[in-house]
Amino acid sequence: MSADRVDERAGRRRISLYALIGLALSVGSFLVPAVPALVTAAGGIILGVLGRRQFKRDPLTGPGWVSLAAIIVGGFVFLSQAVLLGTFYFTG
């Protein structure tokens, strides 16, 4: 009886909620101004890392590209906004 349940779940993959929210925050950080974009992108990176760790523990958690996309997009936005803010504040 429990073997049937395992077979039933083996075919289904579910995407990590951390990774989905992290990707949404990372993509959404493109739409907000500089300082909130830093905070939003940092949240996306953190949730992407949590989603990646969850995927490594349980591969049925979904495709790993979702958490990687959250980390990469969030990192790009975070670094670009940090450079722009640093240039603005230190050259002014």
In a domain, 42, yes or no: yes
In a domain, 11, yes or no: no
Q: Return the pLDDT at 67.
A: 95
On whether the CB atoms of residues 35 and 77 are closer than 8 A, the answer is no
The parts of the chain modelled with pLDDT lower than 70 are 1-11, 92
In a domain, 44, yes or no: yes
CA distance 13 to 11: 7
- Of 81, 80, 78, the closest CA to residue 70 belongs to 78
Q: Return the pLDDT at 13.
A: 78
Quote the domain boundaries for residue 32.
17-91
On whether the CB atoms of residues 48 and 67 are closer than 8 A, the answer is yes
On whether the CB atoms of residues 31 and 83 are closer than 8 A, the answer is no
Q: Return the pLDDT at 83.
A: 95
In a domain, 4, yes or no: no
Count how many domains the chain has. 1
In a domain, 45, yes or no: yes
